[in-house]
Structures are given as structure tokens and as C-alpha cells.
Amino acid sequence: MYGDPRTIRRILNELGDTWAVVGLSANERRAAHGVADVLQRFGKRIVPVHPKAETVHGEPGYPSLDAIPFPVDVVDVFVNSELAGGIADEAVAVGAKAVWFQLGVLDEAAWDRVRDAGLDMVMDRCPAIEIPRLG
């Protein structure tokens, strides 16, 4: 349900290539760092979103979604589940087309709000795993 193959394919192939990666910092030991690298290798523009607003993989960072001065297609969420719902609400507010909660990030109420707002959503999945499956 939270990782419908059609929705995954649509997000990865059709909704746009600008991905805000919330929780992405310059810390190479964090999962977000490696996933952002995979996204870039598959043609996505990554936008680091982290309170430190660090440049990561050559892309300038922003402290929040609403600080990004251009449209974002997908918001990829690497924060704990307790904070993820607020990020999902921000994604809706900034006009994103989709929200992607990473492995282990779960919030059913956020799922309902995002879907009710008309956005696509994937939860408890990783695009770095899903992209190669597309073939």
C-alpha cells in the first residue's frame, strides 16, 4: 500500500527531477548522503535541506523547504517518524508533487493528509533501491 509500484514509477519517472532531501548533511556516514548520490547519478537534482544548510554533492543547502527559492518536485524525508508529518505538511504547502518517506519513516496520518491534498506518496521505501528495479 505505501509503496505501490505504479506510484513509485510515476514519482521516479514522471513527476520531475528536483528532489529536496530533508535531513541531508555533509556527514558521509548518514544514509541520506549515499541516497542523494544515487539520485544524482540517475539524473535527479538534489536539494539538501538541513538546519545547517550545508553544500552537499555540489548543491547548496537550505535550512527548510520554504527557504528553497525554486519549485521542488519531490520531497524525500530522512527524519524520524515523529518529525516526518510536519515535513509532509510543509511539502504540501510549498507545492511539491510528491512526498517520499524513507525506510523506517512511518506516519499514517501524514500519509492521509498528503494523499488528501492530491500528492503522490511513498512511505517506508528507498529510491536508491527502487530506481534500479525500474530497469
pTM: 0.96
Q: Is 6 helix (H, G, I), strand (E, B) or coil?
A: helix
pLDDT at residue 1, rounded to an integer: 67
> Residues with Cβ < 8 Å from 124, sequence gap 6 or more?
2, 3, 101, 102, 103, 104, 105, 106
3-state secondary structure of 21: strand
Q: What is the pLDDT of residues 23-82, one digit of tens each?
A: 999 999 999 999 999 999 999 999 999 999 999 999 999 999 999 999 999 999 999 999
**Per-residue model confidence as pLDDT tens digits over 67-78:** 999 999 999 999
pLDDT > 90? residue 134: no
Instruction: Give residue 73's pLDDT.
Output: 98
